[in-house]
Structure 1
Amino acid sequence: MSGRDVSSWRGRFEDGGDDLPIDETLPRRREARALLGSLLRPYRGIVALLALVVVVENVARLSVPLLVQRGIDHGIPPIIDGGPARELLLIVGALSGVVVVQAVSRMFFLRRSGRVGQKVLLELRRRVFRHFQRLDVAFHDRYTSGRVVSRSTNDVEAIQDMLETGFDSLITAVLTLVGTAVLLVALDVRLGLMCLLAFPVLVALVWWFRTESAHTYRQVRESAALVIVQFVETMTGIKAVQAYRREPRNQEIFEDVADQYRAINEKTFKLLAVFMPGVKLVGNITTGVVLLYGGYRVLGGEMTIGTLTAFLLYLRMFFEPMQEISQFFNTFQSASSALEKLAGVLAERPGIADPDRPVPLASGDGRVRGDVAFHDVHFAYVPDRPVLPGLTLDVPAGQTIALVGTTGAGKTTIAKLIARFYDPTSGSVTVDGVNLRDVAQSDLRRHVVMVTQENFMFDGTVADNIRFGRPDATDAQIRAAAEAVGADGFIEALPDGYDTDVAKRGGRLSAGQRQLIAFARAFLADPAVLILDEATSSLDIPSERMVQRALETVLADRTALVIAHRLSTVQVADRVLVLEHGRVVEDGSPEDLIGRGDGHYAELHRVWVESLA
């Protein structure tokens, strides 16, 4: 990629290649409406009550000009003539009552709608979070964490805006438009019909704004997601960014997507710059015509001053909703786009699904022995590019297998298939003779544990991270697991021992220490099958030696698959499998393979021994 060319980076987002999936075969809007309906369904009663409250509030508001008219025409003249102020006082009292009704209605609406809105958003966040956790590893391998963050935060916030202000604005606007139109005609038919001549112009403006803004606001959501993606990924990989001096380059990319976001937002302001003044222009022209014609009729005795005043107040109310409608469309378009994306994600089905009638992995005595077998397993991440072209393999219970081979040979793929992060394209993987497709994932996870390269540390204490797979583990069990992998010494040396907060994903711990805690986490789970995927590759020599001493004890009486570049780890294995292009080309104990002298493993061992000299 050249110095300032970021188009190639943007391209993969602009064509949707990195976006979270939305099933194009489903009507997006129907799915979005169904999602919103399912969220609001438990609150049908309170939503209906809130709608009634809005009606009461708007009826009270619409009564104000009529009371003003009566005050001018019937309350003030008697006082001018020296009569009692009783009529005017009654009207002022009625106005005060109307204001109180409006205030109480608004207060009730805001409190209850806010509560309902937050409950709806809580349920939406629960669904999104639960669904993202249910989606298989293949999904998370395909899509960036920034996109996932955007869906679960940015899009939910857009829906929050609609729930908090959108529906209220829409109901108020519709009631005001209909109510004022009826009252304008009721006050004076000729003048009312004259005012309503402006209505088709307003409808045309609203229709134009709605049509033009729909696509623009969808682009706004996409651009906002790009900004979040770039920010999250840069901050997540900040060590690599700084190590490779990528700050200027990443700044370029971020400024590019941020400028794209700015440009698309400017489009929305251009639309508003036409729509809002257009509505005001039509409103001012109509008001001028009413003043001229209404004033002429007042002078001619055909209309009272109070009626003209009420007419002008209603006319102002008639045009006010147009601004609310524009704001509603702004909110609605953003929320619609967000709802469609969330509905699309929630419609995504996990590639790894539990069977309708799961078979228990444990035998009659409640134990899982750990016999692992591959039966003519074919697998490919990408169609027509096989990784495993028909693997058949038997691993007896209690045996420790070391998988050796170059990058791309299929070692990690075998581990992922045993953990059922993926399913074979064809063939089957079994544990104790049970096809993993027939086992509930929760059951499988209890008995098959995989320690990956990442060694992710969650917020919390060291003890919390060790008991991650067994929340009910006692402090004694946690210490025993740490001692088994040789982690107890450095943990006790930490400021608060096992209660030390690891902070920032284990940033206070060295790579070797994080690895040992990940080991302790897996050992505490006490699985029948333990998979170590490059699990010692990040350890320094002293830490690795400490783990080597612990592994022989910890791996006893369980099936284990070890994937490591360092041959020192392979020495604990009972059996070594050398893989090339998804096929087993060498199979035997470490001693047997070294003794052959001419094999791939023997050559690797020779090079390793020379490197130690």
Structure 2
Amino acid sequence: MSTATVHGVSGEERGDLTKEESRQIRQRSLRLLGSLLKPLRKRVVAAMILVIISTAASVAGPALIAFGIDTALPAVLERADWLPALGVGVVYLVTALAAATFMASYVVASARVSQAVLLDLRMRVFQHTQKLSLEFHESYTSGRIISRQTSDLDAIKQLLDEGISQLVNGILYMGFIFGALFLLDWTSGLVVVGSVVPLYFLTRWFQKRSQVMFRQSRVLSARVIVHFVESMTGIRAVKAFRKEKRNEKEFGRLVEDYRDINARTIQLFGIYEPGIIMIGNLAVAAVLLVGGFRVVGGYMEIGALLAAVLYVRRFFDPMEEMAMFYNAYQSAAAALEKISGVLEERPSVPDPTTPIDLWTAKGRVTFDDVTFAYNDKTTVLPSFSLDIPAGQTIALVGSTGAGKSTLAKLISRFYDPSEGAVLLDDVDLRRMHPKDLRRAIVMVTQEAYLFSGTVADNIALGRPDATRDEIMEAARAVGAHQFIEDLPDGYDTDVNKRGGRVSAGQRQLVSFARAFLADPAVLILDEATASLDIPSERLVQEALQTLLADRTAVIIAHRLSTVAIADRVLVMEHGRIVEDGSPAELIGGTGRFAQLHAAWRDSLV
């Protein structure tokens, strides 16, 4: 079973994980983050240098104020010496300008890093999900994939664009202030050390609880998106079966759950932020009280006390800002966990390490003692063997669940057999170069998916370099040319999403033209004529004679009119071939196919 399915059934997709699972997921996320930042390490170092200089310059302010009050001001009052005061003012101005300049440069540099990371991550998710096998996509819903590419990446974008700058700047700011405070007055520094203890426990309490809640928030966000996508994708079924009210109720429940988890998160912030403010105010009061007594006793200058109070006040300012951005951090961390989980998936049908080239395939297909089970569960094909000579057209007939579509998926190498091998021209499909495999074998399914673009673009999907004449010739061969010419812009008509400008039967004709133009050695038709009406089917029947000529063909069909063009019929039951012969031989017999044919003929009457 794939990792995605395991995660979906266990804790990661529900948001309840053991400590060990949480640790492994954090390590996985950190590995992903490290791989994203590694190519940008020079930019990251440059940004860090800029923010360090900016922070050091901004921290110098209170120390300069202390020097001005304790040294420069007495020099003016006692000796009328304005030079120290002027020097303090100039230095203060220079440090302020330096802090602003370097901070502006840091913001630009960090923004470039964050955009580069987002671009890399977005491309990785898209490229990796395309490479994953059909097994993954059949278990990992499209809504969850969309959630990874949209809301999860948006959460990371928010953190990189805003949160990281605040976090890095805040940590450095607190560190510099801590050092400056100890250099100025170590006693005041000890007071701050004492305040860090309750601050640490408060932050740990907040971190543990918010981490769980934000992980649950990402899960619930994905569920909302999944439900929305499924409802909109299946809108015809929703309307046909009056499912609107049930959808509203289910969607309302999901949205309420999402609202509730966000409300609980806000309640956490309602405790954390005031707690930080209270600890900061108590620390300022303690420094002021202790420092006041020391000033009275002559152990501390008034300027130093003022600087110490300013430093302590500034020490807690970033904590309040970091609390505000901790929301973004936790949300992004949970999102990164989800994305890293997808990127950790490995194809169940991997490309061969040392592929065998098969430039020109003849089309012989062999099943050599194949056993297959989906997700290692119930066996669909038990010890299945079959030889299809090159150029032969076979029809697979049988009841639903007999294993016909599984056979087609194995020939297309959407799945690999659990045992045994599927061969093309005596070459194991698992060892064939993927380009040769996709060029040699093409499947046309019942759902003829058309991509956004023109009709011509969709026909040329398998051969993007095809000329317009070749595209038109393929359309004529399958009887699609006339209806395409009748479209508003002919072959340049935009079919829109899911082929909205053409009917189901016309989409199927376009898919036939696509297959004809690709010119594969092996063509698989999986219920490919099911969406055609009788006149269209007759037209396609004639076109299939051209389409199937000189190539191996596997036809899966419940309409027995399609089976008539086959050289050989295989009747399957429970993953085994129970009848094998020409259509005429089986019709003339007394077996399963003869019964099916008689029932079909009676239905026409």
Q: Distance in 2 between matches of 1:25 and 1:61?
A: 39
**Residue 265 of structure 1 pairs with residue 262 of structure 2:** yes
Shift of 1:82: 10
Q: Tell me, yes or no, if the aligned pair for 1:72 and 1:306 is still in contact at 8 Å.
A: yes
Counterpart residue number, 2:63: 66
Shift of 1:183: 2.3
SS in 2 for 1:198: helix
Amino acid paired to 1:499: D
Range with bigger deviation, 245-254 or 74-83: 74-83
Distance change >3 Å, CA 212–CA 459, structure 1 → 2: same
Q: Distance in 1 between matches of 2:350 and 2:36?
A: 25
Shift of 1:85: 5.4
Q: Tell me, yes or no, if the aligned pair for 1:19 and 1:147 is still in contact at 8 Å.
A: no
Q: Distance in 1 between matches of 2:441 and 2:64?
A: 77
Q: Tell me, yes or no, if the aligned pair for 1:18 and 1:143 is still in contact at 8 Å.
A: no
Counterpart residue number, 2:160: 163
Q: Tell me, yes or no, if the aligned pair for 1:576 and 1:589 is still in contact at 8 Å.
A: yes
Amino acid paired to 1:170: L
**Residue 359 of structure 1 pairs with residue 356 of structure 2:** yes
Q: Distance in 1 between matches of 2:260 and 2:23?
A: 31
Q: 2:97 aligns with which of 97, 100, 104?
A: 100
1:518-529 residue pairs with structure 2 within 5 A? 518-529=511-522
Counterpart residue number, 1:510: 503
Deviations 1:500-540, CA, capped at 9 Å, x for gaps:
11112211211011111111111111000000100010112
**Residue 476 of structure 1 pairs with residue 473 of structure 2:** no
**Residue 603 of structure 1 pairs with residue 595 of structure 2:** yes
Counterpart residue number, 2:562: 569
Amino acid paired to 1:543: S
Counterpart residue number, 1:554: 547
Counterpart residue number, 1:5: none
Shift of 1:64: 1.3
**Residue 256 of structure 1 pairs with residue 253 of structure 2:** yes
1:109-124 residue pairs with structure 2 within 5 A? 109-124=106-121
Q: Tell me, yes or no, if the aligned pair for 2:14 and 2:216 is still in contact at 8 Å.
A: no
TM-score (norm 1): 0.91
Shift of 1:586: 1.6
Q: Distance in 1 between matches of 2:424 and 2:465?
A: 26
Distance change >3 Å, CA 162–CA 533, structure 1 → 2: same
Counterpart residue number, 2:169: 172
Shift of 1:16: 5.0
1:72-471 residue pairs with structure 2 within 5 A? 72-74=69-71, 83=80, 87-295=84-292, 297-298=294-295, 302-327=299-324, 329-362=326-359, 367-383=360-376, 385-471=378-464
Q: Distance in 1 between matches of 2:561 and 2:145?
A: 39
Shift of 1:450: 0.4
Distance change >3 Å, CA 448–CA 424, structure 1 → 2: same
Q: Distance in 2 between matches of 1:559 and 1:24?
A: 49
Q: Distance in 2 between matches of 1:190 and 1:310?
A: 13
**Residue 493 of structure 1 pairs with residue 492 of structure 2:** no
Range with bigger deviation, 194-203 or 451-460: 194-203
Range with bigger deviation, 526-535 or 581-590: 581-590
Q: Percent identity?
A: 52
Counterpart residue number, 1:6: none
Range with bigger deviation, 61-70 or 452-461: 61-70
Amino acid paired to 1:599: G
SS in 2 for 1:197: helix
Query: What 5-or-longer segments of structure 1 have no aligned partner?
Result: 1-11
Q: Distance in 2 between matches of 1:101 and 1:259?
A: 49
Amino acid paired to 2:106: F
Q: Tell me, yes or no, if the aligned pair for 1:138 and 1:422 is still in contact at 8 Å.
A: yes
Query: What 5-or-longer segments of structure 2 have no aligned partner?
Result: 1-6
Distance change >3 Å, CA 40–CA 382, structure 1 → 2: closer
Q: Distance in 2 between matches of 1:16 and 1:456?
A: 35
Amino acid paired to 1:610: D
Q: Distance in 2 between matches of 1:610 and 1:338?
A: 58
Amino acid paired to 2:559: R
Shift of 1:466: 1.0
Distance change >3 Å, CA 335–CA 579, structure 1 → 2: same
Q: Distance in 2 between matches of 1:456 and 1:432?
A: 30
Shift of 1:41: 0.8
Deviations 1:53-88, CA, capped at 9 Å, x for gaps:
111111011011122333444555666789475544
Range with bigger deviation, 409-418 or 174-183: 174-183
Q: Tell me, yes or no, if the aligned pair for 2:107 and 2:165 is still in contact at 8 Å.
A: no
Shift of 1:221: 1.5
Number of positions where the alignment pairs a residue of Structure 1 with one of Structure 2: 596
Range with bigger deviation, 93-102 or 522-531: 93-102
SS in 1 for 2:501: coil
SS in 1 for 2:260: helix
SS in 2 for 1:312: helix
SS in 2 for 1:47: helix
Deviations 1:457-486, CA, capped at 9 Å, x for gaps:
111111111111111111111111111111
SS in 2 for 1:229: helix
Q: Tell me, yes or no, if the aligned pair for 1:18 and 1:144 is still in contact at 8 Å.
A: no
Q: Tell me, yes or no, if the aligned pair for 2:14 and 2:219 is still in contact at 8 Å.
A: no
Q: Distance in 2 between matches of 1:316 and 1:582?
A: 76
Amino acid paired to 1:477: E
SS in 1 for 2:329: helix
Amino acid paired to 1:117: S
Deviations 1:68-116, CA, capped at 9 Å, x for gaps:
3334445556667894755444433333322221222122112121112
C-alpha RMSD of matched pairs (Å): 2.5
Deviations 1:17-74, CA, capped at 9 Å, x for gaps:
9789x99699222222121111111111111111111111110110111223334445
Q: Distance in 2 between matches of 1:70 and 1:561?
A: 90
Amino acid paired to 1:473: A
Counterpart residue number, 1:3: none
Amino acid paired to 1:534: E
Distance change >3 Å, CA 17–CA 482, structure 1 → 2: farther
Shift of 1:249: 0.9
SS in 2 for 1:373: strand
Q: Tell me, yes or no, if the aligned pair for 1:150 and 1:228 is still in contact at 8 Å.
A: yes
Counterpart residue number, 1:7: none
SS in 2 for 1:556: coil
Q: Distance in 2 between matches of 1:433 and 1:181?
A: 73
Q: Distance in 1 between matches of 2:513 and 2:279?
A: 73
**Residue 592 of structure 1 pairs with residue 589 of structure 2:** no
SS in 2 for 1:397: coil
Counterpart residue number, 2:37: 40
TM-score (norm 2): 0.93
Q: Distance in 1 between matches of 2:319 and 2:342?
A: 34
Distance change >3 Å, CA 194–CA 348, structure 1 → 2: closer
